[in-house]
Amino acid sequence: MCRRSHVSGPLVHCLRVHCLQGAHGPLSRSSPLRRGPLAHRAGLDRQRSRLGAPGPCACGRGGCLDLLLGNGLSAELGATVVFGWVRPGILALLHPAHRFIRPSNVAAHTALTVAATGTLSDAGLPSQGSLSAAFALFPAAATEMLCGLLAGPPTKACVTTWMTTAPAEYLQPHRLDLCSVCGLLVGRRYNGVHPRCRPHSRHHVANHGHASAQDPGLPSFSTIMGHTAPTLRHVPHVARAAWAQCLARAVAAAATTNTGPAWQELLMLPKAVLAAPLRGGGRHHKQAALSTLRRCQRWLAGERMELWDELVQPRPSRARADGVELAAQHTCCCALAAEGELSRACAALTEPPPLPPSRATLEALAAQHPQAAPPDVAQLGLARPAAVPEVTKENVVRGVRSFSRASAPGPSGLRADHLKETLSTAHGDEVASHLVALCQLLARGEAPALVAPHLAGARLHALPKKQGGVRPIAVGETLRRLVSKVLCQAVREDAVNHFWPLQTRAAFPGLACWADWSAVDFSLFPAGFAVKGAAFDLLGAPIGDSEYCTQATLSDKVQKAGKVLDALGELDNPQVSLQLLRHCASFTELVHNMRTTPAGLHSAALVAFDGKVRACLESIGCFPVPDRIWQQATLGVKHGGLGLRQCAVHATAAYLASVATTQEACRGLDGRYNPDWPTSSATAATYKAVVLEADRFRGDQAHRQQALSAALDKAQLAQLLVTAEDASGRAHLQLLQQPAAGAWLLARPSPALGLDLDPAFFRVLLRFRLRIPVASSDGYCPLCDGIADRFGDHARACPCGGDRTKRHNRLRTVLAAKATAAGLSPEVEKMGLLPERPEELGASEVGRPSVSQRRPADVYLPNWGAYGPAAMDLAATSGMRGSVLATSAGDGASAAANYEIRKKIHHNTAQLCAGQGLQFIPLVVEACGGGWGPTAVATFRKLGALHASRLGMSASDGAEQLFQALSVALQRENARAVLRRLAESSDSVPSLAEP
């Protein structure tokens, strides 16, 4: 019998055809072959008769043919299979059934075809070219085997070779694979190795793990890294599980075997599986997703070179006209903003694109990267694997998640987002475990020498310099960058202590006040340091008097920011423009200057910069921005503004926070350091004069800049409340401060996530928030004939036209989708949860009892916490209605909180639900401001945390995404309701476009 042989390389099943009657005589009862699946002729004949084979078995008197397809019997590719003594002139048609071919190896209806022709020589061995045998497995409805045996007298045994594998048609649907050690079938969740075979696999790796020869059947490392096929930015959701499985296997093979072929497969995997579609038909989201899923499945089935051969080199980019180039910049900017890469999106508007590939560009890059002699590795001494820090799973996961969104891929095409998205799948734990082993291997320098140049290499991108020339940008391999992050994280604290005080991680906010240089002790500065003139710049901070600091801030920051602000005003997507303005082009542009320079030394430059930001907001919103509107717009989003903080107002908070947080570091550098400079005291006095009494800090109490700026916002908001024209203005400001009221402003403008807003809708929403009229005057509502105010308050609460119903249904759909993503199995508008009310009793028209129409659950959850199922009831109210306007002007939270109580006591709903074992959860939103009630806030935070746990995010991020999705859906329907009513009166339409 064939025995199992543990070998590396391709493994195959072995078949032995043995004659039970021949020169050796009949088999005894104790013979293993006698106890085999074909132990006697009668059994064979019965099988032939049952399957309809003509005639009896022709194996000869007292003999039969034994077919043994062993359960996992394996041998190396090219091993020999012995055919026992054969008789002349035998031709038998056999039908092996399940009992002869074990279904654990091949499909139940699998046939084996054996063809043997020729004659035997006198010595009993096949002469040259006289014997050929071919074996093939293929599925068939009626399995059969044709065995042609050679004519002539009984001869000695002849040998031949059989090579085959189990068919992919069977392995793929049954989610099976062949163990790389024993050849047995194994579930794919084990990544190609039986649990009981893993010790042998590790032993094999220990002995043969440094084989670095490349597999000639796969593309070489140079070919893999040199192929310029782009990869998808994100793995489609439908294909993420399959992609995670592909990556887990490839990483496990590279980390376990550490051979050249394993590294070849790992590096070619991203381009072979995640190749981006190059034509318009494949760019459709669903088509691209299904195409990626099919490619992952084909990779798992073993189609390596077939997938690689299908790659197409992208066509070289052509030069665009000026108008086309501008449109391409806007498209690129919006795409990056949708990914959350706001700084790169802002840079795409103003910075020139990369240089196209050309020989001149290549020569310029080569000139800046001259070839050097390879380093003498022997000078480094012997390797010290024990000195490498231990790589932990937590550090690897943290390193993967620390990559920025849309991080560029390395030469292999593997992106950091590809790794992130595998961690949120069912195979995420396996991927992380295998990445730990791979990172440890790379950190110890144990990768094959043939792979090292490609892992340590990078792809150069040529960017044009402003003064002319080429700036090379190197993007290294993602796996190497991951190892660098892990190692840096392991030695972070030690590095901080080692480099102190050469690298302090602290600024010198008091340097700008040194007008009298005679008081400066230059011995504290590095050797060779000298001051040229009365003022200078140190690490981007102006050091000198007021005139110098003002001029330096104007020339270095304000004038450069003007180009970006102008580009944002021309962008045709106001949602993207406002996000970039808030995060990249307004207050954040001057934070470094404000933290290192006292506000009084460059106040004129700060005022000039605020004027440019204000003009940009007017271009984005297409409306004028008077002083009062500008004061509200500069408030934080939590306080009812747009987050466009004024630099002239918040510069004091920035400087004081910097002084407070760097005192300890400055004293460590200079024991004579004194933070109580005259300019610092003047800045503190200016700050305390603006904020409210309760928010003034005492003595040297340290504060973060965020807390100090929040105190300035509170003082500014209090002034706006006092100077409001009427109760509606005060109520509007109060409602904007409620939880999640401004979440739509912070949402990523992503069409894929449904968070993008139409430009017309977004400009209307800006008018809502800043209390700018959307119509030229008050009028009549065309749907209900009520008074429609010019601010749009009536349109958001109008009962006619179906807008409130549509808004409610949108919120319900978003909530149900998030609950589904969290794995809570929600049901929408579930009926029959409560007993019928008396007025609902009776028979229907068809004579059957009517079903209760009471549906307390817009979204029903069969399991919500420790108290069983929950009925979530969504509702929207308005705090701007005349009956509650005065209350809202004093307390913005009262409208939603009071309506929650009303929902519970209405028809005694909460008590009836409790009687049926249901949790009744009213989710109330105030429609005008967008804030949610206390019960809704607590519920959404819990739901967001559940969703985040499945995606590997923090609970706060999950809740924030949920609030943003609900807020965008709410405000989109509010804007639609207003525009729908404005369309009925043409005289008010131009007011939306007038600057």
* Token pair of 924 as six digits: 């109330």
* CA pair distance 440, 479, nearest whole angstrom: 12
Residue 86 reports pLDDT greater than 60: no
The arithmetic mean of pLDDT across residues 84-89, rounded, is 31
Helix (H, G, I), strand (E, B) or coil at 111: strand
Are residues 21 and 64 in contact, defined by beta-carbon separation less than 8 angstroms? yes
DSSP H helices in 30-182: 41-50, 168-171
Confidence of residue 953 (pLDDT cuts 50, 70, 90): confident
The arithmetic mean of pLDDT across residues 160-175, rounded, is 62
Confidence of residue 853 (pLDDT cuts 50, 70, 90): low
pLDDT at 683: 85
The arithmetic mean of pLDDT across residues 572-598, rounded, is 92
List the end-to-end C-alpha distance of the chain, in Å, as a whole number.
91
* CA pair distance 883, 577, nearest whole angstrom: 38
Tell me which H or E stretch contains 116. Answer: strand 110-117
> 84 in the Ramachandran plot: left (φ > 0), alpha (ψ -120 to 50) or beta?
beta
**Which pairing describes strands 185-187 and 458-464: parallel, antiparallel, or unpaired?**
unpaired
pLDDT at 470: 87
pLDDT at 374: 74
Please tell me which residue, 527 or 924, carries the higher pLDDT value: 924
Average the pLDDT over each of 57-71, 209-223, 365-379, 981-995 and give the range with the smallest value. Answer: 57-71
Q: Residues of 478-489 as b/e, b for ≥16 C-beta within 10 angstroms? A: bbbbbbebbbeb
The residues pairing with 209 across neighbouring beta strands, listed in sequence order, are: none
Confidence of residue 983 (pLDDT cuts 50, 70, 90): low
Are residues 747 and 958 in contact, defined by beta-carbon separation less than 8 angstroms? no
* Token pair of 671 as six digits: 């024991």
The arithmetic mean of pLDDT across residues 415-436, rounded, is 91
Confidence of residue 536 (pLDDT cuts 50, 70, 90): confident
* Token pair of 163 as six digits: 């090579």
Please tell me which residue, 685 or 848, carries the higher pLDDT value: 685
Average the pLDDT over each of 36-40, 371-375, 482-486 and give the range with the smallest value. Answer: 36-40
Confidence of residue 694 (pLDDT cuts 50, 70, 90): confident
Q: What are phi and psi of 718, to 5 degrees?
A: -60, -35
Residue 855 reports pLDDT greater than 90: no
* Token pair of 681 as six digits: 């005291």
Q: How many CB atoms lie within 10 A of CB 454?
A: 21
Residue 463 reports pLDDT greater than 90: no
pLDDT at 10: 31
* CA pair distance 719, 231, nearest whole angstrom: 53
Residue 661 reports pLDDT greater than 70: yes
> 868 in the Ramachandran plot: left (φ > 0), alpha (ψ -120 to 50) or beta?
left
- Nearest CA to 448 out of 312, 655, 262, 186 is that of 262
Average the pLDDT over each of 123-127, 176-180, 717-721, 843-847 and give the range with the smallest value. Answer: 123-127
* CA pair distance 699, 778, nearest whole angstrom: 53
Confidence of residue 748 (pLDDT cuts 50, 70, 90): very high
**Which pairing describes strands 541-543 and 779-780: parallel, antiparallel, or unpaired?**
unpaired
pLDDT at 539: 78
Task: Write out pLDDT tens, residues 5-34.
Answer: 333 333 233 333 333 333 333 333 333 333
The arithmetic mean of pLDDT across residues 276-284, rounded, is 60
pLDDT at 515: 38
* CA pair distance 523, 520, nearest whole angstrom: 9
pLDDT at 699: 59
| Residue entry with tokens 């590096």 | 267
pLDDT at 931: 95
**CA 844 distance to own-chain centroid:** 52
pLDDT at 272: 93
pLDDT at 479: 94
Confidence of residue 277 (pLDDT cuts 50, 70, 90): confident
* CA pair distance 631, 642, nearest whole angstrom: 10
The arithmetic mean of pLDDT across residues 928-945, rounded, is 95
* Token pair of 648 as six digits: 């002239």
Please tell me which residue, 388 or 603, carries the higher pLDDT value: 603
| Residue entry with tokens 């376990």 | 256
Query: What angle is formed at CA 130 by the lines to CA 128 and CA 135, rounded to 5 degrees?
Result: 110
* CA pair distance 393, 239, nearest whole angstrom: 25
* CA pair distance 90, 743, nearest whole angstrom: 83
Residue 850 reports pLDDT greater than 60: no
Q: What are phi and psi of 147, to 5 degrees?
A: -120, 115
Confidence of residue 130 (pLDDT cuts 50, 70, 90): very low
- Nearest CA to 863 out of 902, 917, 944, 930 is that of 917
Using CB atoms within 10 Å of the CB of residue 596, give its burial: 0 to 12 exposed, 13 to 18 middle, 19+ buried.
buried
Tell me which H or E stretch contains 82. Answer: strand 80-83
pLDDT at 716: 94
pTM over 0.95: no
Cα-trace Rg, the chain: 38
Residue 975 reports pLDDT greater than 80: yes
pLDDT at 700: 56
| Residue entry with tokens 């390879």 | 374
Highest mean pLDDT among 590-604, 691-705, 888-902: 888-902
pLDDT at 670: 73
The arithmetic mean of pLDDT across residues 127-142, rounded, is 31
Average the pLDDT over each of 11-20, 412-421, 932-941 and give the range with the smallest value. Answer: 11-20
The arithmetic mean of pLDDT across residues 588-600, rounded, is 89
Average the pLDDT over each of 33-42, 739-748, 909-918 and give the range with the smallest value. Answer: 33-42
The residues pairing with 82 across neighbouring beta strands, listed in sequence order, are: 159
- Nearest CA to 82 out of 45, 47, 33 is that of 33
pLDDT at 193: 75
Task: Write out pLDDT tens, residues 364-412.
Answer: 888 887 777 777 767 777 667 777 888 999 999 999 999 988 888 999 9
The arithmetic mean of pLDDT across residues 257-277, rounded, is 91
According to DSSP, residue 902 is labeled H
According to DSSP, residue 984 is labeled T
Please tell me which residue, 208 or 821, carries the higher pLDDT value: 821
* CA pair distance 457, 468, nearest whole angstrom: 26
Task: Write out pLDDT tens, residues 544-556.
Answer: 888 888 998 998 8
Q: What are phi and psi of 69, to 5 degrees?
A: -105, 95
Please tell me which residue, 163 or 671, carries the higher pLDDT value: 671
pLDDT at 833: 86
Please tell me which residue, 388 or 577, carries the higher pLDDT value: 577
The arithmetic mean of pLDDT across residues 673-687, rounded, is 78
Query: Mean pLDDT in the chain?
Result: 76
Task: Write out pLDDT tens, residues 52-81.
Answer: 434 433 333 333 333 333 333 333 333 333
Task: Write out pLDDT tens, residues 290-333.
Answer: 889 999 999 988 888 889 988 876 666 555 555 567 888 888 89
Using CB atoms within 10 Å of the CB of residue 412, give its burial: 0 to 12 exposed, 13 to 18 middle, 19+ buried.
buried
The arithmetic mean of pLDDT across residues 137-153, rounded, is 32
Q: How many CB atoms lie within 10 A of CB 14?
A: 25
- Nearest CA to 647 out of 695, 609, 600 is that of 609
* CA pair distance 854, 832, nearest whole angstrom: 7
Confidence of residue 471 (pLDDT cuts 50, 70, 90): confident
Residue 160 reports pLDDT greater than 50: no
Residue 930 reports pLDDT greater than 70: yes
Please tell me which residue, 834 or 743, carries the higher pLDDT value: 743
Residue 516 reports pLDDT greater than 60: no
The arithmetic mean of pLDDT across residues 195-224, rounded, is 69
**CA 847 distance to own-chain centroid:** 55
